Each structure stands twice: as structure tokens, then as C-alpha cells.
């Protein structure tokens, strides 16, 4: 199935909600599995969170997370401490190509019993749950933050807690800070200083409920829509000025691309508005080491505005649902862009026209579908396999329709 997407790009406005943060929700589900009786409000309705919740609620000996990378990593850590139980955890074809050796090695060093069912370093995994006492471990900080967060989430239940020494420049640091902030919210004694993460053991928490902020990564696509619009104003909730999500940085980045953000305290909403008489820059240069999930959105926005850009710190995009750098290059080139990529950067030349009648492949990657959709404001666009968005944002196409986008199934 594909969608042909159109929009007349007249002025438009609307108000709607976005589901809770997938990242926050998944961390809280792991902690609720450990401590129990934690009421989680505004839980994400994404496929990733639904899959994780399913297996946490009803643990099975054979677990298939499909495309859910976070579920694979977080469950690997959680299952390793489920004493006297055995599990086989697997996923989609792409999941079996995504490395997990660093996390497995770290857990095994701490006393876990995890082995490979097929190819060394990759899922599927055989896990024999047993007691892990914790202690101290050193890891390269150039790895996916989800490996480190997976260890952090089980750390409080380990007899000796956990001290993690991170070596080198840290990748996606805001996600580690998010994990730490959530641990602190539920009463865990922990700190993160000078590349050292310390988490003390805790057998019981004294909090009974917690609310999840809406997902900043998901709202990035609406920043792009407002930036590419002739005139638009959107009110979207629920968001906080004191957000623990790293993609909160969108507020600052998109000011450079013509979008004003206002926080409406009375309703916990944000207002996104096209800046009047905005003069677009010729070029933007960004280090997205801490915000790789919004790289695709920013790249497509810059292309639509005819702005050149250099985006750095993107080495983790090579091992996502697809090789996102290569996918971006292929699909933007079809639209007429001149793109160069390296192993960790993306470079876009200024564009002066957009090719029409283009069909965008999504590579089983939710962010490819959602990042390219706003370009329908500039030209009719075909998005292949549109249902892939359910991985993180089930209501994406419904919310697009509410903004006068026309979606025709073809």
C-alpha cells in the first residue's frame, strides 16, 4: 500500500494531542516490571511500547520483538536477571542484522548467562536468567545509548548496584540523562558526572504514579510542517519547558528555520507558529550527536526550504531500522537534492527546485515516512508502506489529515 499526499499550503491551524514519549514509556515499563504497582499515565501507544508491555506483562520463553530495537535491548537486560527462567529473544530480519554484542558482553561480565542462537554478536539470543550482583564496568561511550540505559535500568535491583565508566565522547547523552532523571523520580540514588554513572541498590520505591510527557521526536514532523508552510499555527500537547527529553532542542533549532515555539502553561501545550517575515538562512551547521533521531526531519526541512546544511554526529544512524544516512541520500536525490554522506555526517547543497511525481521508499523505517511527508506542502508525494509509522506514532496520518493534508490510497 502507498499514500499519495497533497496539500494546497494555504494558511491552516489546529489543536491535537501527541501520545506519550516512547523513550520515557519504555524505561518506565522496565522499572515497573522490577518494582511493580507503578501507575503510568499517558503511556505511549507506539508499536515499540505495545510490544514491550506485552512481553513484560506476560513473559514467554520465546519472544519476538519484530522491529522494536529498544525492546530488544531493554528486555535483554531485564531477562538476564529473571532467575531460574530461560528465554529465546529474536526479531525481524533487520533486527538480526543490528549489533548487540557490546550489551551482551557487558551483562556477561557482570555475571549474566547470555549466548548467541545463530550469528555471534547479533540476535537471536539465548538467555538463562540468574542473579547478578552488579559492581563496576567500563564501556565505550561511542555506542548506542540504549545499551547503557539497559544496564542502568536493572542496576537498582542488583545487590551491589552499578558503577559504569564511560570511555570517550558520549553518544546521545540526553537519553542517558533521561534514564537517570526517571530513576531519580522514582527515588533511586544515582548520579552522572565526569563520564561516570553510579546507581545505588534499591529494593523498594515509594512512588505509586508517574506521568509521561508527549514525545518530542514525534512533534519534530510538525515543526517541519510549520517551517514549510506559507502560514500555520499548531497547538500540540502535552509538553513541558522542563522536559527531560533531548529532542526538546527542536525549539532552538527550528527558530533558525522559521518556527516560533510558545509554551502555554494553562494547558501544558506548545504553540508552533510560522514566524512572520522570516528571512531564511543560506546554510545551517549542526552537531546532532545528542539528537540523532531528528536528523532526517531537519535534512528534509532544509531541502524543502532550499537551505544547504551540514549535519554531524550521526554515526548511530547506520545501525537503525535501516542505514538512515544512505536512505536519506537515495530518496532526497530522487527529489533533486545534491547530497554527500560520510559514516557520521550528512551534507546537503542548496536546492532551487523539487522534482515532482516522486515515490518515497521508507525502508521499514518509521522516521523515513514521517520526515518526508511534510514535503507534500511543496509537491504531491507518494509514500510507500505508510503503515510503518505505527512503530512510534500510530496517529500520524490521522493528525496529518486534520491539517488539511489529502491522503489517497494507491
Rounded CA-CA distance 5/406 in Å is 6
Contact 215, 18 (CB under 8 A): yes
Rounded CA-CA distance 77/88 in Å is 13
Residues in the chain: 410
Which is the catalytic residue, given 48, 53, 215, 293?
Answer: 293
Tell how many helices (H) and how many strands (E) occur in the chain: 12, 22
Rounded CA-CA distance 67/95 in Å is 6
Distances in Å between the Cα of 209 and the Cα atoms of 42, 43, 57, 153, 205 are 11, 12, 18, 18, 11
Of 407, 405, 396, the residue nearest 16 (C-alpha): 396
Ramachandran area for residue 300 (φ above 0: left; ψ -120 to 50: alpha; else beta): alpha
Contact 49, 26 (CB under 8 A): yes
> Facing residues of 260 across strands?
273
Of 240, 371, 268, the residue nearest 311 (C-alpha): 371
Q: Is 293 a catalytic residue?
A: yes
Distances in Å between the Cα of 172 and the Cα atoms of 148, 219, 288 are 11, 19, 8
Contact 87, 129 (CB under 8 A): yes
Of 390, 386, 396, 395, the residue nearest 68 (C-alpha): 390
Rounded CA-CA distance 55/57 in Å is 5
Residue with cell 557520521: 344
Q: Which helix (H) or strand (E) holds 90?
A: strand 86-90
Phi, psi of 104 (to 5 degrees): -60, -45
Asked, as a colleague might, if the bond just before 238 is cis with ω within 30 of 0, I would say yes
Which sequence positions are flagged as catalytic? 293
Amino acid at each position: 500500500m502507498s499514500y499519495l499526499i497533497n496539500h494546497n499550503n494555504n494558511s491552516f491551524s489546529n489543536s491535537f494531542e501527541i501520545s506519550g514519549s516512547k523513550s520515557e514509556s519504555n524505561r518506565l515499563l522496565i522499572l515497573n516490571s522490577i518494582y511493580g504497582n507503578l501507575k503510568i499515565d499517558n503511556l505511549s501507544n507506539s508499536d515499540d511500547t505495545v510490544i514491550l508491555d506485552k512481553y513484560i506483562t506476560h513473559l514467554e520463553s520465546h519472544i519476538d520483538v519484530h522491529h522494536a530495537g529498544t525492546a530488544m535491548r531493554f528486555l535483554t537486560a531485564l531477562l538476564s536477571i529473571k532467575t531460574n527462567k530461560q528465554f529465546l529473544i529474536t526479531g525481524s530480519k533487520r533486527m538480526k542484522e543490528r549489533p548487540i554484542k557490546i550489551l551482551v558482553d557487558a551483562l556477561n561480565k557482570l555475571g549474566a548467562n547470555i549466548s548467541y542462537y545463530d550469528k555471534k554478536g547479533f540476535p537471536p539470543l539465548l538467555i538463562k536468567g540468574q542473579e547478578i550482583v552488579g559492581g563496576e564496568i567500563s564501556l565505550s561511550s561511542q555506542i548506542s545509548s540504549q545499551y547503557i540505559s539497559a544496564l542502568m535500568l536493572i542496576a537498582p535491583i542488583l545487590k551491589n548496584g552499578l558503577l559504569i565508566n564511560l570511555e570517550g565522547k558520549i553518544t546521545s547523552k540526553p537519553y542517558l540523562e533521561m534514564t537517570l532523571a526517571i530513576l531519580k523520580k522514582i527515588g533511586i540514588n544515582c548520579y552522572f558526572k565526569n563520564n561516570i554513572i553510579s546507581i545505588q541498590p534499591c529494593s523498594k520505591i515509594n512512588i505509586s504514579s508517574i506521568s509521561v510527557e508527549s514525545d518530542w521526536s514525534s512533534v519534530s514532523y510538525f515543526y517541519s510542517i510549520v517551517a514549510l508552510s506559507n502560514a500555520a499555527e499548531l497547538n500540540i500537547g502535552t509538553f513541558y519547558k522542563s522536559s527531560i527529553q533531548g529532542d526538546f532542542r527542536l525549539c532552538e533549532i527550528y527558530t533558525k528555520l522559521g518556527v516560533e515555539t510558545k509554551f502555554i502553561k494553562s494547558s501544558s501545550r506548545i504553540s508552533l507558529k510560522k514566524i512572520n517575515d522570516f528571512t531564511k538562512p543560506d546554510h545551517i551547521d549542526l552537531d546532532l550527536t545528542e539528537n540523532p533521531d531528528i536528523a532526517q526531519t531537519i535534512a528534509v526541512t532544509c531541502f524543502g526550504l532550499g537551505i544547504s546544511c551540514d549535519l554531524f554526529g550521526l554515526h548511530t544512524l547506520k545501525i537503525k531500522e535501516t542505514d538512515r544516512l544512505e536512505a536519506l541520500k537515495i530518496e532526497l536525490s530522487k527529489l533533486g537534492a545534491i547530497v554527500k554522506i560520510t559514516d557520521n555526517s550528512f551534507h546537503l547543497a542548496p536546492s532551487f527546485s523539487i522534482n515532482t511525481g516522486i515515490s518515497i521508499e521508507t525502508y521499514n523505517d518509521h522516521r523515513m515516512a514521517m520526515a518526508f511527508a511534510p514535503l507534500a506542502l511543496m509537491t504531491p508525494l507518494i509514500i510507500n508502506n505508510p503503515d510503518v509509522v505505527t512503530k512510534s506514532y500510530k496517529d500520524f496520518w490521522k493528525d496529518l489529515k486534520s491539517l488539511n493534508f489529502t491522503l489517497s490510497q494507491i
